[in-house]
Amino acid sequence: MSRTRVHNFSISLDGFATGEGCSLDAPFGHAGDRLHHWMFAAPFGRELLSESAGSPSPASHAYAGGVGVDDAFARRYVVGVGTEIMGAGKFGPPGWHEDRDWRGWWGPNPPFHTPVFVLTHHPRPALEMEGGTTFYFVDASPTEALELARVAAGDLDVRIGGGATMLRDFLSAGLIDHMHVVQVPVLLGRGVRFWDGLEDLQNSYHVEMVSSPSGVTHLTFNRA
Amino acid sequence: MSRTRVHNFSISLDGFATGEGCSLDAPFGHAGDRLHHWMFAAPFGRELLSESAGSPSPASHAYAGGVGVDDAFARRYVVGVGTEIMGAGKFGPPGWHEDRDWRGWWGPNPPFHTPVFVLTHHPRPALEMEGGTTFYFVDASPTEALELARVAAGDLDVRIGGGATMLRDFLSAGLIDHMHVVQVPVLLGRGVRFWDGLEDLQNSYHVEMVSSPSGVTHLTFNRA
């Protein structure tokens, strides 16, 4: 059966997956781009930015990123993934469901290139984008959403895209096979905590940590 | 001037420095020995246990620890340290100040071998132990306690011993020069949080993380 995988899920040292005050202008609130800088500094992330801009992005090449460990982890994001499930909070700023024209943060060619199931209490018609991404809006439990996603993924794996709240729901329901978390050496102090309510999660997984020369630490959880 | 240093301060992945339900029988509450297993498994910790038992401790040799990275970090605990300041919560279980005979957790020969200042709202006479440790009980602010400790330390450094609450007070007051934190891959879910109220602490320090083959990750904060 296809596996459920989490990749490049970035948190602060104090365990926040996003900052406070998320809005259209600040998708991660006061965290800014600090949690994901490592990814966009790596070659994988620079390619993502170029692709989304439709041309090489000189600005993003200005800072040197982790070309080894970080890039090796980051690229696993796309390999063998047939679909993604994301929470409502990832698809848009608070209140996006009231904007009928909202099409996600990612422009006309989102970086998913697969069907994407958006969990929301406000379903709307499917949204077909360029490059193979189609957003499906479903009001479903984690288990129900995973059944849908597995059908769409065929033999491939299902990526669980976050944010923190939906990922915790999937973890609590025992629905995650592999999880890659990236710990970034900043203290956000406030925002949405990731680890809450997951006491003894390590008992169900093989956990490894490896630090990167870039300063971040990669954690992998593989179901025991 | 002598520096203030923190060593071997161990926390869970979700940022707890101790568990819930601390008592005489469970100094770290439901965390048990999970946060400090790495240290007692390393040669440095095994030597500590032997010294405290007055003889080699065969049981503690039964598990192999991190003889490289972990041991190198652990041994810095004693080097160049002239005194320690610890919080009341480290010296004994809740309510220890009501027990006039309480002499700390560590037996007749505690592993400090220097003057130790115990911060408490219930001062008592100094307590001279075997091996060079003397406990002084002082009702003082972090700054006042540090002045006392610096006199006692002479040219040597002052170790800030924790627990989490007093260490956060010292960090907030800008009184820590070097801090070594060890992240252990367990999720405690509850207890005393270490990182709270320290937003943007990284801006005042050079922060590095390095993972150890034992499974823990060592963090160092050096004042910028």
Which one, of A105, A102, A112, A75, lies nearest residue A90 by Cα? A105
The answer, for A81 touching chain B at a CB cutoff of 8 Å, is no
* pLDDT for B50: 85
Nearest residue on chain A to B188, alpha-carbon basis: A199
- Tally of CB atoms within 10 A around A98: 8
Residue A222 confidence (pLDDT) above 70: yes
Arithmetic mean of pLDDT, A195-200: 97
Segments of B13-72 assigned E as strands: 16-18
Q: Cβ contact (<8 Å) for A198 and B14?
A: yes
- Residue B14: list chain A partners with CB under 8 A: 15, 195-196, 198
Nearest CA in chain A to B11: A14
Q: Is the pLDDT of residue A39 over 50?
A: yes
Residues of A in contact with B215 (CB under 8 A): 207-209
H-only helix segments in chain A = 37-41, 43-53, 69-74, 88-91, 142-153, 164-172
Weakest-pLDDT range from A7-16, A144-153, B40-49, B172-181: B40-49
Q: Do A199 and B215 lie within an 8 Å CB cutoff?
A: no
pLDDT of residue A146: 98
Inter-chain CB pairs, A–B, below 8 Å: 75
Residue B60 has pLDDT above 50, yes or no: no
pLDDT at B49: 86
Nearest CA to B182 among B206, B214, B160, B157? B214
B161, B83 contact by CB (below 8 A)? no
Q: What is the DSSP letter of B2?
A: P
Given CB atoms, is A190 within the 8 Å cutoff of chain B?
A: yes
pLDDT recorded at residue A62: 46
pLDDT (0 to 100) of residue A55 = 58
CB A215 within 8 A of CB B204: no
Q: Using pLDDT thresholds of 50, 70 and 90, give the confidence band for residue A156.
A: very high
What does the pLDDT read at residue B55?
58
Chain A interface test: which of B70, B202, B212 (most A C-beta within 10 Å): B202
pTM: 0.93
**Cα-based torsion angle of the residue sequence B211, B214, B216, B219 in order, rounded to the nearest 10 degrees:** -40
CA atoms within 13 A on the CB side of A130: 8
Instruction: Give me the residue label for tokens 């006039």.
Output: B100
The alpha-carbon gap from B51 to the nearest alpha carbon of chain A, in Å, equals 32
CA distance A165 to B152: 50
CA distance B12 to chain A (A): 10
**Which residues of B are less than 8 Å from A13 in CB distance?**
195, 202, 219
Write out chain B residues lying below 8 Å of A211, CB-based. 209-211, 217
Does A216 sit within 8 Å of B209, measured CB to CB?
A: yes
Per-residue pLDDT reduced to its tens digit, B128-164: 999 999 999 999 999 999 999 999 999 999 999 999 9
Q: Is A183 on the interface with B (CB under 8 A)?
A: yes
CA distance A147 to A170: 13
B209, A208: Cβ pair inside 8 Å? no
Cβ-based contacts of A190 with chain B (< 8 Å) = 199
List CB contacts (< 8 A) between B204 and chain A: none
Contact A215 B202 (CB under 8 A): no
Please tell me the distance in Å from B156's CA to the nearest CA on chain A: 30
**Which of the pair, A55 or B170, is modelled with greater confidence?**
B170
Collapsing DSSP states into helix, strand and coil, what is residue B141?
A: coil
Query: Is the backbone peptide bond immediately before B131 cis, with ω within 30 degrees of 0?
Result: no
Contact yes or no for A195 and B13 at CB 8 A: yes
Q: Which of residues 1-40 of B touch A (CB under 8 A)?
A: 13-15
Q: How far is B186 from chain A (nearest CA, A)?
A: 6
Closest-CA residue to B4 (of B121, B135, B112, B162):
B162
Give me the interface pTM, i.e. the ipTM: 0.91
Closest CA to B86 of B31, B29, B133, B36: B133
Residue B207 touches partner A, C-beta closer than 8 Å: yes
